[in-house]
Structure 1
Amino acid sequence: MTYEFSAQQTFAGMVSRKHQFRLPLDYQAPDGEQITVFARELSSPEHQDKSLPFIVFFQGGPGFGAIRPAASGGWVKRALKEYRVLLLDQRGTGLSTPVSYASLAHLSASEQAQYLSHFRADNIIRDAESIRKQLTKDEKWTILGQSFGGFCVLKYLNDAPQGLAEAYITGGIPSLTRTADEVYQATYKRVLTKNHDFFNRFSDARELIDSLVKHIQANEVILATGERLTVEMLQLLGINIGMEQGPESVYYLLEQALIETASGIQVNPLFLAHFCQLLDFNTNPIFALLHESIYCQQTASNWAAHRVRDRYPEFNFSADKPFLFTGEMIYPWMFEQFNNLKPLQQAAQNLAQKQDWPSLYQVDKLANNRVPVAAAIYSEDMFVEMQYSLETAANVGNLKYWLTSEYEHNGIRMDGEHILDRLITINRGEKLR
């Protein structure tokens, strides 16, 4: 294992330093293939020469690089008061040996699936522990996880609690035992509620979406990324209606979807470009390839979201039924329709059929957790079922939570300074301000 870092840079009121680590792809074969894992260290100018402890941020996903802050705001601003912030690009994302159809093109489908099987939370935590030992001389650090990052926090508590001083979770407490099927049975119901809210809130949204659907069924409409727009793709925009400000983004996009031209009604080129920006499947393939595996312990997912959808036929569009958006669900047809997923179709099938995913959590061990943990649970969260989060919270030792209806799933992005400050206060037993 090797480690490199760059000279300090100052921008946006923060001091930044880049770190790169060479780590094993497979920790069972430490001398085998190596990958690069990138992390960005931030500190405030007044603290840059102080030996403050680290707080490590685990991004949501899976399959997304860490945030690239343009200013010292939000949760980063709060964290910099007493920490050095480490923004970790989880393996396969950002600058950490990024995964794409191009990077995997030299491998067969079975080799691609085998390679990708090393990109779950278990190896993300092994990476983090290796980095901690190299960067801090084995001092404990604090961790913060958002969404899938919260899954990583639970895995860290399970596998390497000796490296942790404190832990924080926002919008991401997973079930310790429930299957992917159970997760989707709950979240489809949440998505139905969000659809109801969306179409009630925007009175002409139904008319807008119906007009657009009729147009794309009658005409070949090509997205800015080269795919033909289908009704199934259009439904995927629903992943945004579970975010704060997400319903507005979707509605404003629909408002501008169709325009009158000299040749008749056409789809606005602006819509064709912005539609692609609201979906990440072409740019972040790990999200599609490994999303269902985050729930798998000694079981295969077998396209759980696709199978469970049969229990909710209202999501299967037809002309005689109201159009509904779907949510954070992955479907096998996506690997037939999105250009950058097409080359990975067989690898995705192999991963969906993989039965020997290692177990992620030891319930007895987590029940005896001694690391202080504070979590924000959002009661209206479309992505993470509240009842399952509460179920886990009751079975993890030393975990305190704040249950609130104030925020959607991306609360930390919208009001991170307040949310992190409150969680720190809760974790330390201080009086709420």
Structure 2
Amino acid sequence: MHGHTFINDGCCYQNYTFEAPLNYSDSESGTLFLFAREVRLVGDENSTKPWLIFFQGGPGFPSPRPNGHSGWLKAALQRYRVLLLDQRGTGYSSVITHQTLAHLNSEEQAQYLTHFRADNIVRDAELIREKLGIEKWATLGQSYGGFCTLVYLSLFPESLLQCYVTGGIPSIDRPIDDVYEATFKRTKDKNNAFFRQFPLAQQLCQKIANHLVNNEEFLPNGQKFTVEQFQQVGINFGVSDTFLPIYYLLENAFVTANGKEFLSYEFLNAMLSEQAFQTNPIYAILHEPIYCQGFASQWSAHRVRQKHKQFNYQPGQPFYFTGEMTFPWMFEQYTNLQPLQGAATLLSEKSDWGDLYNQGVLSTNKVPLSCAVYADDMFVEMALSCETLSKIPNSQAWITNEYEHNGLRADGERVLERLFTIGDQIEATLV
């Protein structure tokens, strides 16, 4: 269980590995390995500080690898020993990629992937808490980590001291199409803001899109680059300080040689680096199933997109970027998603997903839940977050337009200290 230990910038890092069931309801299902890394201030190994577990955004991304004692971690370490968990299927925790699933057929892949949602991530956290002998701990959930937090409050509230969430309070009972209706509207607003700030950008985007309609261009991995892939760069609009870098990319998209204009290698390489789905396929495959409770997603974002025709680019029409959505065509076009197309289709049709949230338990919540809700969040709609929090007692939202979805990364020390204050105030009312 205990692994490598090292010290950096006044912090001690302790690695842990654990074995967990693939399926907590079936002891014969096999096991997987979990990786977690404790971070504590040097000298805190025998302190009485409580623990805090961090739930990463995603789904499908590993916990941060801190480079220094700063940001939200600096604030957290004043109060807590912090555990950075690689959620199952990510990082060093039985990672899922096109390579690790290659030996399974589509049905086997789909069945395996059903065990990688928030409910089992939380059960893994409980297993780790018990293995480490921790009576209760706090949680910090960023984005999808907030989804995991509400599942934790549903399943094991007695294990929690405090919960902090940044940009990650989901709807717990809405149809999935409601989520994507809100997301497309917010994405359209971000597009309008971008093109207002950079009037030439619309012309540049149309030039790139029209070029892709009429010519074949290939990314450095050999994958044909398409208008739909180009549109997905708009996911960056959901985080701060990205408008200008994207505009610079557009400015420098073309190169001319021998009298012919084509997309530059620099631009194409930048486009490939934007495709996180290639390296983190859970992000694509389970992006819609994370909302499913007793219903199938049926490619919700794709269906909702058809109601918003401006997102389906046609030459001569305005260009719009898309946002944090996944579509069935991705499993035809993306090189590393192609082997997972059958599994993705099966999971989009799966209607017997279990419940993630227990509304009865949440309605009697006694764990202080303090949340940063971002007014202009492109990924998690403010109105839906507030609707959920209205059903959970001892919760409080700090609603702010100072930050985008990445507030914890952009100004983590201030954001987390604000949530600490709110949590302390809620706790004082419970004493």
TM-score (norm 1): 0.96
2:27 pairs, out of 20, 27, 30, with 30
* TM superposition shift of 1:242: 1.3
Deviation larger for 13-22 or 48-57: 48-57
* TM superposition shift of 1:252: 2.1
- Structure 1 vs Structure 2: percent identity of aligned residues? 48
Identify the residue that residue 203 of structure 1 maps to in structure 2. Answer: 199
Q: Contact 1:253–1:275 at 8 Å: present in 2 too?
A: no
Matched, 1:235 2:231: yes
* TM superposition shift of 1:90: 0.4
Q: Which amino acid aligns with 2:372?
A: A
Matched, 1:125 2:122: yes
Alpha-carbon distance in 2 for matches of 1:46, 1:270: 47
Q: Contact 2:206–2:315 at 8 Å: present in 1 too?
A: no
**3-state SS of 1:299 partner:** coil
Q: Which amino acid aligns with 1:74?
A: G
Identify the residue that residue 11 of structure 1 maps to in structure 2. Answer: 8
Identify the residue that residue 250 of structure 1 maps to in structure 2. Answer: 246
Q: Which amino acid aligns with 1:257?
A: A
**3-state SS of 1:81 partner:** helix
Matched, 1:67 2:77: no
Alpha-carbon distance in 2 for matches of 1:23, 1:363: 27
Task: Specify whether residues 305 and 399 from structure 1 end up closer, same or farther in structure 2 by C-alpha distance, changes over 3 A only.
Answer: same
1:358-373 to structure 2, matched below 5 A, reads: 358-373=354-369
Identify the residue that residue 353 of structure 2 maps to in structure 1. Answer: 357
Identify the residue that residue 384 of structure 2 maps to in structure 1. Answer: 388
When the two chains are superposed, the root-mean-square deviation of aligned CA atoms in Å is 1.2
Alpha-carbon distance in 2 for matches of 1:246, 1:62: 22
Identify the residue that residue 301 of structure 1 maps to in structure 2. Answer: 297
Q: Contact 2:293–2:353 at 8 Å: present in 1 too?
A: yes
Alpha-carbon distance in 2 for matches of 1:406, 1:273: 32
**3-state SS of 1:47 partner:** coil
**3-state SS of 1:396 partner:** coil
1:160 pairs, out of 156, 159, 163, with 156
Q: Which amino acid aligns with 2:117?
A: R
**3-state SS of 1:377 partner:** strand
* TM superposition shift of 1:46: 4.0
Alpha-carbon distance in 2 for matches of 1:181, 1:87: 32
**3-state SS of 2:60 partner:** coil
* TM superposition shift of 1:352: 0.1
Identify the residue that residue 315 of structure 2 maps to in structure 1. Answer: 319
Structure 1 residues 284-303: Cα deviation after superposition (integer angstroms, max 9, x where no partner)? 00010001011110000000
Deviation larger for 296-305 or 50-59: 50-59
1:408 pairs, out of 404, 408, 414, with 404
Q: Give 4+ residue runs of structure 1 displaced > 3 Å after superposition.
A: none
Q: Which amino acid aligns with 2:137?
A: W
**3-state SS of 1:8 partner:** strand
* TM superposition shift of 1:176: 1.1
Alpha-carbon distance in 1 for matches of 2:69, 2:45: 14
1:162-201 to structure 2, matched below 5 A, reads: 162-201=158-197
Alpha-carbon distance in 2 for matches of 1:47, 1:249: 41
Identify the residue that residue 377 of structure 1 maps to in structure 2. Answer: 373
Identify the residue that residue 41 of structure 1 maps to in structure 2. Answer: 38
Identify the residue that residue 331 of structure 1 maps to in structure 2. Answer: 327
**3-state SS of 1:55 partner:** strand
**3-state SS of 1:259 partner:** strand
* TM superposition shift of 1:31: 4.4
Structure 1 residues 340-384: Cα deviation after superposition (integer angstroms, max 9, x where no partner)? 000000000000000000011121210100001100000100111
Matched, 1:52 2:49: yes
Deviation larger for 409-418 or 252-261: 252-261
* TM superposition shift of 1:263: 4.8
Q: Which amino acid aligns with 2:147?
A: F
**3-state SS of 1:194 partner:** helix
Alpha-carbon distance in 2 for matches of 1:279, 1:6: 33
* TM superposition shift of 1:177: 0.2
2:281 pairs, out of 274, 279, 285, with 285
**Aligned length, in residue pairs:** 426
1:112 pairs, out of 94, 102, 109, with 109
Q: Contact 2:143–2:167 at 8 Å: present in 1 too?
A: yes
Alpha-carbon distance in 2 for matches of 1:92, 1:375: 27
* TM superposition shift of 1:248: 2.6
TM-score (norm 2): 0.97
Structure 1 residues 110-131: Cα deviation after superposition (integer angstroms, max 9, x where no partner)? 1110000000000000000000
Alpha-carbon distance in 2 for matches of 1:409, 1:292: 19
